[in-house]
Structure 1
Amino acid sequence: MRQAFAGFAFTQIFSAKSAIAGLLAIAMSVVAASTAVAQAAKQNSKYAAFVIDANTGKVLFSANADSRRYPASLTKMMTLYLTFEALSRGKITKQTLVPFSAHASAEPPTKIGVRAGGSVTVETAILSLVTKSANDASTALGEMLGGSEENFARMMTAKARSLGMSGTVFRNANGLPNSAQFTTARDMATLGLALREHYPQYYGYFSTPSFTYGRQRMPNHNRLLGRIKGVDGIKTGFTNASGFNLVSSVTDGNRRIVAVVMGGASGASRDNHMADLIMKYLPSASNSGKGAPLVARAGGSNFDAVDKVAALPKQAAPTPDTRPAADVTVASVDDAPAAPVRKAKAAPTPEEVPAPTLQAYAEPTSRPQAALEAAVAKPQVDPIKTASVAASGWVVQIASSPSRAEAESILDKTSKQAPGVLRKASGFTVPFEKGGVTYHRARFGGFGSKVAAWDACAALKKQKISCYAIQN
């Protein structure tokens, strides 16, 4: 009897120890995963983050928040802000047709694929920006609202200043790479607040789960929508130079925060870190409800160019071109060259700013394994590589010209002359200043390594095409 009882007791103790060991293993895996994120951040010079209470303006977390970073497709937040402003002022309507110039139509993917001379409605353009982050539609909106993308970029920067975004300069409407275009995590949080406070009637667009145009179904790139409680927008972004960026707006009852993560090493790690920030700091936000607006609405507007709306096309938008899958795999959601704009002489680029003291991600909170898996196991939000700035960073330059149109013509001619060599490459132009004149480098990107770029150039030279390989 005693032996039987002793055996039963031993079994119970052993089972209890096994259960405890299992729980410890799960807890250790959660901590290990979050620790891995923090360790990666320590080695990431692109990282910045910021969390603000959207009710009170209290800063809940800040890391490198005022260090200059490349915005990538977060740029489209300002394009949308100015679009919403034009809508609210009656300058345009949701059904106004947005014409696509040759320049807008030629923007690299991701895009909706409207031919030059075609058009879409303003609402279609908005939906394509908030879901697919369409570069062509963003440029088309900028050209319509500003008269030219260059002028629209000036409007964007002026609006940024009026909103208190002192660390931001815009050079294009979509966030495609331009070394003179930069922002900060704090400024992106300010813009996120302004979008929600100033245009609540349009803010709901940011939570659109998917959008269908023609035969294309465009899911929202923000994987936290519908997966992390309370997330209702706003925008993702990625270029090789910027890393993976995300601005999130979160609401839980009366609590509201806006959080920014910039420079993530991958879409998954960025989302994981954003989930950590939300879970840790949302409970610390004020529960007293929304007070006065945190971002002052600037008086007046610079929409003189929108008076040209009367000359916009009256025909219905054409069906978008169907692009082969290969076209989608060589370029990125947010990457390529920018439209030529003279550099602001007083504004240094991010490369000219001393490297900031690196900070780790926020100390992770404990959270259920299911929540961790939901944040970590998702595919990268913007997995498509950039044509203009390939993973290797190596490109092939074939010419430069004071005319962007001529540079683009050279790219088109070269693509047709050597289709086999440049089958997986994508052409783009890069503006630069020399002697007070803006020139445009004609380059091909999308090469996976230095060797691939050198081999492509060697093959072009065999076809009597001058070129050289260079790290972009």
Structure 2
Amino acid sequence: MAATDLLNRRSNAKSFAARAGCFVLTAFLAAISVPASAVANAKYAGYVIDVNTGEVLYATNANARRYPASLTKMMTLYLTFEGLDAGRFMKSTRIAVSAHAASEPPSKLGLRAGSTITVEDAMHALVTKSANDAATALGEFLGGSEPGFAKMATNKARALGMQNTNFRNAHGLPDPAQVTTAADMARLGIALRKRFPHHYPIFETRSYRFGKTTLRSHNRLVGSVEGVDGIKTGFINASGFNLVTSVRRDGRSVVAVVLGGRTAASRDAHMRELLQRHLPLASRSREGNDLEPTRDSTLVALLEEAPRVGPVPSFRSTDENLSNVEVASAATADPITTGSLGLPSAEGTWAIQIAAVPDRAGAIRILEKAKSDHDGFPASVEPLVVEFSDGSSLLYRARFVGFDARETAWATCRALKQKGYGCWATR
């Protein structure tokens, strides 16, 4: 063989080896970008989003329709939190258990038809044991019936931008028409965190005493992974093992979703893997708290469901009689975020909201009662009713404005919560 031919063959062999090496490296990188648990699993979907920026850090089948299973209970709790904050009921309110609720299959508390359960016990039963009988009782209480709840929940999903989600019940037991997506479940998880920071800590509950029974959480990541503060597990045969997880650590904040796990253990392991891989890539909030998303279009829509409340007249009277409370108008729906709402500053920059009700007189009565029940309001604080519309109905927010510091506003909220009021603070 000529020396030239030998050199050419050696050169071609090296070139082929180099190309093969690049192919192997590319295949390897592709393989590690798709977790092993996702391989050959038709039910799988995964999603990780940076809550500080709205950047999607990971997405596989994120908008493919799947069955939510007990992730449905996230919406049941969302609507319960709304009802508490609107003053329609309190945590101590007792709700009836229908024969339909009592007949739900496990997981359940074993509630008897004709008995009652408090709203607070029902909420904790959903978060820990994922009790289907408690979920149905709560859904029937909220919506008047299971179909009524389903309509309410689906309408709320649309208002939150969950365009690929339909609800048919409050618990997540099988229904072919009850579907969602990984992206929609992340959206709901973020909405729960941002809209209800005062209720959200319930998702960290690891055990809860109900009667003589201790209910233990199905969510094994809470307490075992640093920074995880919820949210919910779920399983039916049609869905596989589902999990929505929120984690906040060192100023970074993500919500991650795994749908269609083969087992609870493999689902949890995959979630740990996603968090380990993607949390370090998330941005750091300068204040260590969630910032409004700016890049992901789905989250922008979530937080821009309505413009912020425009300029409103401030109420300056400090008379103990609140019958002259001013009404400020908001042109559109109640935003989800607890960020700046353009409230009058009065003497300070913080406000608290204790209710949102269908009539102005009702909002005024709630403010009057709160002022009577709590004698610790700072002198700078004033009552205010803010009118807003969701496009189909008019509601009135009952607020106190003029707190000079976040700590003062939240301290007042804590005191009011002890007296049975729903309350959250906003700047």
TM norm. shorter chain > 0.5: yes
Partner of 2:195: 198
Are 1:170 and 2:167 an aligned pair? yes
Say whether the 8 Å CA contact 1:53–1:285 is kept in structure 2. yes
Are 1:104 and 2:101 an aligned pair? yes
Are 1:232 and 2:229 an aligned pair? yes
Please list every run of 5 or more consecutive structure 2 residues that lacks an aligned counterpart in the other structure. Answer: 1-27, 294-298, 307-332, 336-355, 359-427
Structure 1 residue 217: Cα displacement: 1.3
SS of equivalent residue, structure 2 residue 180: coil
Q: Which letter maps to 1:57?
A: G
SS of equivalent residue, structure 1 residue 55: coil
Q: Which letter maps to 1:292?
A: E
Structure 1 residue 300: Cα displacement: 6.3
TM-score, normalization: structure 1? 0.55
Q: What is the RMSD computed on CA atoms of the aligned residues? A: 2.1
Are 1:291 and 2:288 an aligned pair? no
Partner of 1:95: 92
Say whether the 8 Å CA contact 2:37–2:266 is kept in structure 1. no
Identical-residue share of aligned pairs (%): 58
- Residue in structure 2 matching 1:246, options 239, 243, 247: 243
Structure 1 residue 303: Cα displacement: 9.5
CA–CA distance in structure 2, aligned partners of residues 149 and 205 of structure 1:
24
Matching of residues 282-431 of structure 1 within 5 Å: 282-289=279-286, 290-292=290-292, 294=299, 295-296=302-303, 299=333
Partner of 1:261: 258
Are 1:186 and 2:160 an aligned pair? no
Structure 1 residue 40: Cα displacement: 4.3
Say whether the 8 Å CA contact 1:145–1:303 is kept in structure 2. no
Q: Which letter maps to 2:55?
A: K
Q: Which letter maps to 2:53?
A: T
Structure 1 residue 288: Cα displacement: 2.3
Matching of residues 85-164 of structure 1 within 5 Å: 85-164=82-161
Deviation per CA, 1:379-408, whole angstroms, max 9, x where unpaired? xxxxxxxxxxxxxxxxxxxxxxxxxxxxxx
CA–CA distance in structure 1, aligned partners of residues 35 and 57 of structure 2:
18
Say whether the 8 Å CA contact 2:99–2:113 is kept in structure 1. yes
Structure 1 residue 215: Cα displacement: 2.1
CA–CA distance in structure 2, aligned partners of residues 94 and 253 of structure 1:
33
After superposition, the Cα gap between the structure-2 partners of 1:146 and 1:303, relative to the gap in structure 1 and judged at 3 Å, is: farther
Structure 1 residue 38: Cα displacement: 3.8
Q: Which letter maps to 1:48?
A: A
CA–CA distance in structure 2, aligned partners of residues 117 and 89 of structure 1:
27
Say whether the 8 Å CA contact 1:146–1:303 is kept in structure 2. no
Are 1:63 and 2:31 an aligned pair? no
| Relative contact order, higher structure (CA 8 A, sep 6+) | 1
SS of equivalent residue, structure 1 residue 56: coil
SS of equivalent residue, structure 2 residue 176: coil
TM-score, normalization: structure 2? 0.61
SS of equivalent residue, structure 1 residue 169: coil
CA–CA distance in structure 2, aligned partners of residues 288 and 264 of structure 1:
31
Structure 1 residue 41: Cα displacement: 2.2
Please list every run of 5 or more consecutive structure 1 residues that lacks an aligned counterpart in the other structure. Answer: 1-30, 305-472
SS of equivalent residue, structure 2 residue 273: helix
Q: Which letter maps to 2:273?
A: D
SS of equivalent residue, structure 1 residue 108: coil
